[in-house]
Amino acid sequence: MSPRCWRRAAAIVIAYALLSPSPASAKGFVLVTWGDTISHLGDVSVPNRAGLAANKVGFKSSYFGVFWVDLWTWGGEFCVYEGNRYGPISRAEAARLVGKPENEVGKPFLYRFPLGWLIFGPLIALGVVVAVLDKRKASGIAALFEDARYQKALAILNERYEKQPVQSADTQAAEREPGHDERFRAAFDAAVQHLVDEGVSRGEAERNLALMFEALSQAPRPMPVPEFRLACECGKEVVVAEGAAGSSLTCECGRTIRVPSSDKLRALSG
Ligand SMILES: [Zn+2]
């Protein structure tokens, strides 16, 4: 038997399998898709057709993805196929059947690099870079908060900012109370000056203090709990939180004060 005949014989005994269907399943709002697919590589050249039950050469693979965008592909093999039936063959055989040199018959690009990677890869990489930078920035700021010089600077900032209106009232010199921005600016400058005295360059001190202040203003704060004032017949007022709605409490005078429902409480407070 010539090598050619051997190959033909091999092709004839190829076991044809049935391509598994392509199911789709919705999980929440994400449509998950998976199954087997065949990428067409070429038609079997006419001289090679004898004895083959299928006349197309393809690359069969399994895929998993969302919304028909492949995230993972595996189990790739060259095959001859017709419709949903395929029979695995070697790459060399695939090349011979389509009449091309072997190095021109390769795994499809989208098998090696599923579309999902191309779409989500850059997004994931970008997300990782942003997360790393964010973390680096956060740990940098955390180090500032642990630095005694910066702790003192923040204390100065806070103290100056709080104290200023009192000063202006005391001296009676100020025609008007300084606005929030001016008070902040003055307090900020005092804090920066402290850092400069401690040996930090002015630019760095300003930049870092601004970062710390930004971090502080973004920190979660407890929600103010609304309180309601209820008057007793004796003239005293009791302050209750909304949680006390519907209950009753005792005033200092001994009288019982009934706390209205939360709807009525809100209506009372206007
Ligand atoms: Zn009372």
Q: What is the pLDDT of residue 164?
A: 61
252 CA from centroid of ligand 1 (Å): 6
49-108 pLDDT, tens digit each:
777 778 899 999 998 888 888 888 998 999 999 888 888 999 999 999 999 999 888 898
Give the pLDDT score at 12.
46
> Average pLDDT for residues 144-158, to the nearest whole number?
89
End-to-end CA distance of the chain: 102
CA distance 148 to 144: 8
Which residue in 103, 54, 59 sits closest to 78, CA to CA? 59
Measure 242 CA to ligand 1 centroid, in angstroms.
20
DSSP state of 15: P
Distance between Cα 253 and ligand 1 center (Å): 4
- The arithmetic mean of pLDDT across residues 124-129, rounded, is 88
Residue 91 identity (one-letter amino acid): R
Q: What was the pLDDT predicted at 167?
A: 46
Residue 174 pLDDT exceeds 80: no
Count Cβ atoms below 10 Å from residue 183 Cβ, excluding itself.
18
Select the more confidently predicted residue: 117 or 193. 193
Ligand 1 mean position to 200 CA, how many Å? 59
Percentage of the chain surpassing pLDDT 90?
A: 21
Distance 267 CA to ligand 1 centre (A): 22
Tens digits of residue pLDDT in 176-198: 556 778 888 889 999 999 999 99
Token pair recorded at residue 66: 């969302």
Largest CA distance in the chain: 118
* C-alpha of residue 249 to centroid of ligand 1, in Å: 10
3-state helix, strand, coil in the chain (%, to 5): 50, 25, 30
For the whole model, what pTM was predicted? 0.45
Q: What is the pLDDT of residues 234-252, one digit of tens each?
A: 998 888 887 888 888 888 8
- Residue with the larger pLDDT of the pair 171 and 25: 25
Q: How far is the CA of 224 from the centre of ligand 1 (A)?
A: 27
User: How far is the C-alpha of 32 from the C-alpha of 35, rounded, in Å?
Assistant: 10
Tokens found for residue 172: 């009676």
